[in-house]
Structure 1
């Protein structure tokens, strides 16, 4: 072989190897692309009456356009298939993904004498391009052709056509004929008329130019739709009379305005999260419609009320608001306002129905309920509202009210009785109970929060409060909040006895029991039965109110996104006003309306007139009484009831009047006794002290109590290493509370005996 022949042989071999390598690469690339892939179907949300709420679309990955649709087809709609194939791929069932005739025609028109542009893309090739969009170069056209062939061979023609009808763009972010039918005409694809099919089939060629929501785009789409109808008639797919009717309908086509998302972005984002987390799923993947529990009319009204009321409180420092309205019987969420304005100033993008905040006194009803459940509290027990024995926790007003019935103590929202009751139940027991109610999911030790758990140190969220108050409102049955008809609903769980739930409800709905802290006919009183509890956190950072009536449970939070303080913004003075307005809206209540009704009473209890001074039944000698619901074994005896105040609720040998001004006797013990025991009984070691935000500074004091035996005439109290007071050991000393960490100790004058150091943390 000559040298030239050898060179030619090598060139042929090299060329063959290059072609083989290219073929392998080509085969690999089309193998990777030849899969039917589509985004998940995008649900459309409706309110409880069928009004459009929103659709949960797919972001393009760059934070820009949101696309919708991609609904699968349960079966290929016959008329849509015929119209699509007549327009896009007449020989779809005759080729294997590439149409040689169309390629030849396109080449002749594009490069021949006619010079008219024409495409040769088949349905399968368009599917390949829609799944992996790229610039329209020759190389990419070759990849689309190979992918189209392999898709057809791998999945079959019907599956490929169904994928096209799922991915095809129909303008305004909509993809797929099924979604477009619902978006533009609000009907299933099977119910589309020939005129509607012709119009929709025209759009994928150029969704922007043929946008049917614009006059010029609609004109172009209608014009192309007429050509489609002519092609269908020419191919004998529709009869002449059908075509004539469709042409007339197409000429008269007027597109309805697209439904607009309401002003409820936080609510829609919550639904997005519920869907993403799998808590709500459409009943049908073919038509992913979700029927929410939301009442859009109520949602709009509650949003307007929240903004109006908040505007009136901005001068006092309020910046944000959160509101929820839930059906009492079903737990269905009827309305939710996450903030005053998602796009507004002051951290409006936060959803304050899902933000952890200090709940103030809104947890107190559950502490009282647990006290009744554990048997450490009865309705006739007298609870002391006194400055001593509460670890520095004060009450919401400028005075202490002395002995009180539990009904009064809870209705007046007194802090000292609640903290003493919490101490008697136990921190860990209460902490677990509140977790069982869903009010928190913390693993922090209960001691971290201490007794201040009763007045707001344990953070929670508005939606969790709504769920927990639902247990009180529904006879002790705890059920999840329901957001959609398609949401699985587990059976309610009993967390409180019916007896206790109804007893607490009677406390919270008794306007007479709220005296003197809350005056009659104010924001807490209604012309029909309503149980309500308010709360205010430290520094007026949070104002709360949660109430339930026969129909609904309503919760409101007022505060600031930066956790800053407000100016004397209390739950009763602000949040309760908004709650009142919302409940009036739900009930359609008008001024002067009065309903002769009440909440169901505990079935095994009888009404009894009880004296508020000592808890005894009224023998016509008591001027202040309340009606209490008692069991037979709780009926007061003739003897006076003992008062309860300490951690174990043991009887104290003092009368009701003595509880307000107790005197302390001085024993006489020789101070030279070498065996003198010195200990601090109050405050407890490592206590965390919280001050009630509404208490004036003059009353913001921590009682200091000593345990000294045998008795000595005097002891010296030291605070942070400095002498603070000299006093009789039997008398308490009151230290003005200061924030920070402090250390307390007692010593004997002129002697070396000292007590152990007691650290205390003040917040």
Structure 2
């Protein structure tokens, strides 16, 4: 039986038969005395006094059947029933003789206790349930040792005729109660149980009913995944005596996200979208919290396909790994310029049909430009990139890298959503690649390092920089969040697939939108579709409310300092207009132009403090309210700092403004013009990057 992380029933995995699936067959570590007493009271009262065949019962049954009773009477002992359950055969005299002989051999060889324990493992308790241990969980959601005497008696009644005594039907429940009452009467008459316990059990039995059928949730793809993981041996219960599996899935979250996915998909159906898939993985643990394979398993539009496992073109979602490998191999520095120009593009075009000219790697990746990515792949080598993508688990192909060519960088190499989730998990976890975890009992491989922490943090900072996405992706769209998020979209050729992978400090979210027949959608890109669903999913996970912002940034690369770079290249001296902040190793920092002053550059950042301004955002444009009193026209300054930092010195335009508690906002009276804010540590080095705000 599989339960979610909060104990909710998810599914159960049974033994496959040609005609049905049976559940249970759980062994007992010890047989509770009351279970043995109630079972023997109904099935074999002289169990301990015969060797497997009860001669007295055989003679009685033969006489009653001979004189022509309406109902045929058997005389099967516990041992004979075990023999029949192990080797089912049509009812006949010869079969009965074989059962009797087998029963005698079983008791002689194994002993009475072992035979009874095996019966309690095999006996059918209805609705596909076998064994008292499974039945206790299935009908009452408790271990067999915790069953009350009334519950034991009720279950002991069922194996005689599981179909007639179906506990989920009122007629079957009534028959089982009547037979259970006979067991209690016998135990009372034989003084096997104290009278007070018998009286209590009789009162409980009158109203006793099972808790209800353990209903699998609608997520059938999820149930099939766990069945596959179990059959492949990747998940196994910790104990044969308690065959439960603790899934990492949060069914409550799963159901909310499934509803959200269907709602968003309905908005895109007119554009040709037919299916959606979504996964959520917890940061730090790799635990899969939600796994939605399609909009609905019963959807006639290929709903039975699990699109988290389907091979599809990944569009541009592989580009971050092209950049990561270039950084790892020393073929690229964050201060280099990449050419987004027609010359040397090898026939590759950008999605918008335009070229943006020379660009910093940060802007080229955040804008998802095709030409710089393919040129980088050429620079590092096709084979090296193909092998790196294999090491990340994104493919297991044995074809030559040349068969995919440079188009590997823009979607020619097929992969699966679950593989993308694992690879992006390596970016999120400082370069360590780990298995996705579906259950506490899962067999996991050791995490392996696939890239340095420096590279992982550098690429993450690029994917999380909203300014670097300009001009391709406008501000405050679905790629921007009220908390720190690294996000990458992808769109395959002819709009067949729309992807978004996004991760925050809490979770990695992956979304795919497309069609089961791999048909084209009507200009439905990752940024215009899947990104919106990913945004809604991460916002739900964080519990963010409209208008709220959450302090905190991703940790910067160790040993690097922030430096303002001109978009056209080179270190900013304050006169080049638009800039981007890049993380640069001090020994590789480009020099300022001759005669330029370094006073306008950000102060060095203490990498161990992770000090960052939460509000306002860099390059914010604010209009004052002319109808509001001047005293209320204030700008709230908030900082994200470690708990060890108690006070912050706020600098405005290079001058000290206010010494404030780190966990409380400071309020600056707004003044027209462009102003630069920085949070510094009082009387010691270390500070945040400079944030520029224009007030009108």
Any idea what SS the aligned residue of 1:361 has? helix
Q: Distance in 2 between the 1:240 and 1:607 partners? A: 81
1:597 aligns with 2:597: no
Q: Which of 333, 336, 342 pairs up with 1:387?
A: 342
Contact 1:331–1:480 (8 Å) recurs in 2 = yes
Q: Which residue of 2 aligns with 1:469?
A: 424
1:334 aligns with 2:279: no
Q: Deviation of residue 206 (structure 1)?
A: 1.1
TM-score by length of 1: 0.76
Q: Which residue of 2 aligns with 1:617?
A: 571
Q: Distance in 2 between the 1:592 and 1:245 partners? A: 59
Q: Deviation of residue 142 (structure 1)?
A: 1.7
Q: Which residue of 1 aligns with 2:333?
A: 378
Contact 1:109–1:115 (8 Å) recurs in 2 = no
Q: Which residue of 1 aligns with 2:12?
A: 55
Q: Which residue of 1 aligns with 2:79?
A: 124
Q: Which residue of 1 aligns with 2:589?
A: 635
Q: Distance in 2 between the 1:116 and 1:57 partners? A: 34
Q: Distance in 1 between the 2:271 and 2:234 partners? A: 40
Q: Which residue of 2 aligns with 1:107?
A: 62
Any idea what SS the aligned residue of 1:400 has? coil
Instruction: Encode CA deviations 1:179-215: one digit per residue, 9 max, x unaligned.
Output: 0111111111111111111111111111122112211
Q: Distance in 1 between the 2:346 and 2:119 partners? A: 72
Instruction: Encode CA deviations 1:13-32: one digit per residue, 9 max, x unaligned.
Output: xxxxxxxxxxxxxxxxxxxx
Q: Deviation of residue 116 (structure 1)?
A: 6.0
Structure 2: 5+ residue stretches without partners? 595-696
Any idea what SS the aligned residue of 2:96 has? helix
Q: Deviation of residue 59 (structure 1)?
A: 2.9
Q: Distance in 2 between the 1:550 and 1:326 partners? A: 11
Q: Which residue of 1 aligns with 2:206?
A: 251
Q: Which residue of 2 aligns with 1:501?
A: 456
Contact 2:336–2:361 (8 Å) recurs in 1 = yes
Query: Counterparts in 2 of 1:473-552, with a 5 A limit?
Result: 473-552=428-507
Contact 2:573–2:592 (8 Å) recurs in 1 = no
Q: Distance in 1 between the 2:195 and 2:575 partners? A: 99
Query: Counterparts in 2 of 1:58-457, with a 5 A limit?
Result: 58-62=15-19, 65-112=20-67, 117-457=72-412
Q: Which of 547, 560, 580 pairs up with 2:535?
A: 580
Q: Distance in 2 between the 1:162 and 1:256 partners? A: 26
Q: Which residue of 2 aligns with 1:681?
A: none
1:626 aligns with 2:601: no
Q: Distance in 2 between the 1:50 and 1:114 partners? A: 50
Q: Distance in 1 between the 2:572 and 2:551 partners? A: 26
Q: Distance in 1 between the 2:539 and 2:246 partners? A: 26
Contact 1:166–1:176 (8 Å) recurs in 2 = yes
Residues 504 and 45 (structure 1), Cα distance of their counterparts in 2 relative to 1, 3 Å cut: same
Q: Which residue of 2 aligns with 1:4?
A: none
Residues 60 and 491 (structure 1), Cα distance of their counterparts in 2 relative to 1, 3 Å cut: closer
1:606 aligns with 2:585: no
Q: Which residue of 1 aligns with 2:511?
A: 556
Structure 1: 5+ residue stretches without partners? 1-43, 641-763
Any idea what SS the aligned residue of 1:362 has? helix
Contact 1:612–1:624 (8 Å) recurs in 2 = yes
Any idea what SS the aligned residue of 1:423 has? helix
What is the CA RMSD across the aligned residues, in angstroms?
Answer: 1.4
Q: Deviation of residue 433 (structure 1)?
A: 0.8
Contact 1:182–1:189 (8 Å) recurs in 2 = yes
- Equivalent residue pairs, number: 594
Q: Distance in 2 between the 1:116 and 1:420 partners? A: 86
Any idea what SS the aligned residue of 1:61 has? coil
Any idea what SS the aligned residue of 1:600 has? coil
Any idea what SS the aligned residue of 1:363 has? helix
Greater mean alpha carbon deviation, residues 590-599 or residues 467-476 = 590-599
Q: Which residue of 2 aligns with 1:714?
A: none
Q: Deviation of residue 638 (structure 1)?
A: 4.4
Q: Deviation of residue 620 (structure 1)?
A: 2.2
Residues 114 and 378 (structure 1), Cα distance of their counterparts in 2 relative to 1, 3 Å cut: closer
Q: Deviation of residue 633 (structure 1)?
A: 2.1
Q: Distance in 2 between the 1:117 and 1:385 partners? A: 89
Q: Distance in 2 between the 1:184 and 1:114 partners? A: 35
Any idea what SS the aligned residue of 2:11 has? strand
Q: Distance in 2 between the 1:199 and 1:332 partners? A: 39
Q: Distance in 1 between the 2:462 and 2:381 partners? A: 23
Q: Deviation of residue 114 (structure 1)?
A: 6.7
Q: Distance in 2 between the 1:512 and 1:115 partners? A: 87
Instruction: Encode CA deviations 1:562-597: one digit per residue, 9 max, x unaligned.
Output: 111111111111110110010011011111011232
Q: Deviation of residue 491 (structure 1)?
A: 3.4
Any idea what SS the aligned residue of 1:596 has? coil
Contact 1:45–1:292 (8 Å) recurs in 2 = yes
Q: Deviation of residue 139 (structure 1)?
A: 2.1
Any idea what SS the aligned residue of 2:499 has? strand
Contact 2:23–2:129 (8 Å) recurs in 1 = yes
Q: Deviation of residue 240 (structure 1)?
A: 1.7
Any idea what SS the aligned residue of 1:187 has? coil
Any idea what SS the aligned residue of 2:315 has? coil
Q: Distance in 2 between the 1:104 and 1:467 partners? A: 68
Instruction: Encode CA deviations 1:487-523: one digit per residue, 9 max, x unaligned.
Output: 1334322111111111111100000000000000001
Greater mean alpha carbon deviation, residues 235-244 or residues 365-374 = 235-244
Q: Deviation of residue 74 (structure 1)?
A: 1.1
Q: Deviation of residue 474 (structure 1)?
A: 0.9
Q: Which residue of 1 aligns with 2:658?
A: none
Q: Distance in 2 between the 1:114 and 1:437 partners? A: 73
Q: Deviation of residue 125 (structure 1)?
A: 1.0
TM-score by length of 2: 0.84
Q: Distance in 1 between the 2:198 and 2:581 partners? A: 80
Q: Which residue of 2 aligns with 1:734?
A: none
Residues 590 and 116 (structure 1), Cα distance of their counterparts in 2 relative to 1, 3 Å cut: closer
Residues 114 and 345 (structure 1), Cα distance of their counterparts in 2 relative to 1, 3 Å cut: closer
Q: Distance in 2 between the 1:334 and 1:312 partners? A: 25
